Amino acid sequence: MISLIAPSGPINAELLQSGIRLLHSKSLEITTPIENVLSQTYLFSGTTQVRLDQLIHALEFPQIIWCARGGTGCNELLPAVTRWLKHNTPKAKAFIGLSDPTPLMNILASHMPVIYGPMVATEDFLHLTEDRWAWLLHLLHSESDTHTPFTLKEPLTFFKGVQMAGKVVGGTLAMLTSVMGTPYDTTFDNKIVFLEDVHEPDYRLVRHFTQLIQGNKLAHIKGLILGSFTTRGPTKYADMTPMLNYLFAKSDFPIIQNFPLGHCENPLALPLNRMLRITESEVCLL
């Protein structure tokens, strides 16, 4: 049972219908009336109250909450959601999304299973390969499972180290820096941190990473995973090697670059707040 929500930007109806057909082909039933996620108010998929009510309603039922897309606006919901969590326990089985909901997802991950994965009304969702789908569906049903690996067809590139292990936090870089200094900041200490972003030029990426470094956010982490960083330039993906050499040459934690995660073709889903071991050939639940 899937509850679709639109906590951020407005939804493309055609992509949504295609995504729903794909879910149906996987024997996943949608409980949400489509019209509930197709409204638009300015830059958003509805007023703040409409989006908040949709999210809270979804949290109150034993179903999988799946974001239709990102955009902007989810941070507006954080004060009310954190107040609700102080007095309520989510009944939802899992939450899936990425991008704009990043801060929300890291908060929810302390209360329920959360998966950083592709969203229903997006092109990336429609082109997942069968092995990515099998892993995503496994994560949805593996809360107590251990030592289950996903074997990568292409080896990961370690900028530093050869493996990492720990609980995972992170998401879209610009969203994580957007809540620094607020009550909704994400704690990175003793965690594997994964970061990715979309349409950010190098100078803005350096600015975001510098903010994390100067905020002492990366001083006590167990590893850093860099996912996809798409550009608006002639090449689709940014070459992160010069930036890594500039910012992290003296770092002592393992670093993976070009991990297939985030705003990219055929992304690999990752569970938040779950123990993982990652080598160049495997991602393994612990």
Q: Is 67 a domain residue?
A: yes
Output the pLDDT for position 239. Answer: 87
Q: Is 215 a domain residue?
A: yes
- Separation of alpha carbons 172 and 229, rounded Å: 10
For residue range 114-154, list pLDDT tens digits in order. 999 999 999 999 999 999 999 999 999 876 556 778 999 99
Tokens of 113: 């299973």
Q: Is 206 helix (H, G, I), strand (E, B) or coil?
A: helix
The mean pLDDT of the chain is: 94
Check the CA dihedral 117-122-123-125 and report its sign: positive
Answer yes or no: do 114 and 185 share one domain.
no
The domain tally of the chain equals: 2
For residue range 150-200, list pLDDT tens digits in order. 999 999 999 999 999 999 999 999 999 999 999 999 999 999 999 999 999
CATH classification of the domain holding 240: 3.50.30.60
Please determine, for residue 35, whether its predicted confidence score (pLDDT) is greater than 90. Answer: no
Q: Which of 7, 135, 26 is nearest to 70 (CA)?
A: 7
Q: Is 134 a domain residue?
A: no
CATH classification of the domain holding 86: 3.40.50.10740
Output the pLDDT for position 45. Answer: 96
Percent of the chain with pLDDT over 70: 97
AA letter at 34: I
Please determine, for residue 236, whether its predicted confidence score (pLDDT) is greater than 90. Answer: no
Instruction: Give the H/E segment covering residue 125.
Output: helix 123-126
Answer yes or no: do 156 and 80 share one domain.
no
Q: Which of 106, 113, 41 is nearest to 78 (CA)?
A: 106
Output the pLDDT for position 36. Answer: 86
| Confidence band for 234, pLDDT divided at 50, 70 and 90 | low
Q: Which of 172, 27, 47, 19 is nearest to 98 (CA)?
A: 172
AA letter at 281: S
Q: Is 104 a domain residue?
A: yes
Output the pLDDT for position 112. Answer: 97
Query: pTM of the predicted model, to two decimals?
Result: 0.96
Answer yes or no: do 281 and 162 share one domain.
yes
Q: Is 137 a domain residue?
A: no
Range of the domain at 83: 2-127
For residue range 61-113, list pLDDT tens digits in order. 999 999 999 999 999 999 999 999 999 999 999 999 999 999 999 999 999 99
Output the pLDDT for position 213. Answer: 97
Domain end, chosen from 71, 94, 127, is at 127
Output the pLDDT for position 143. Answer: 65
Output the pLDDT for position 233. Answer: 66
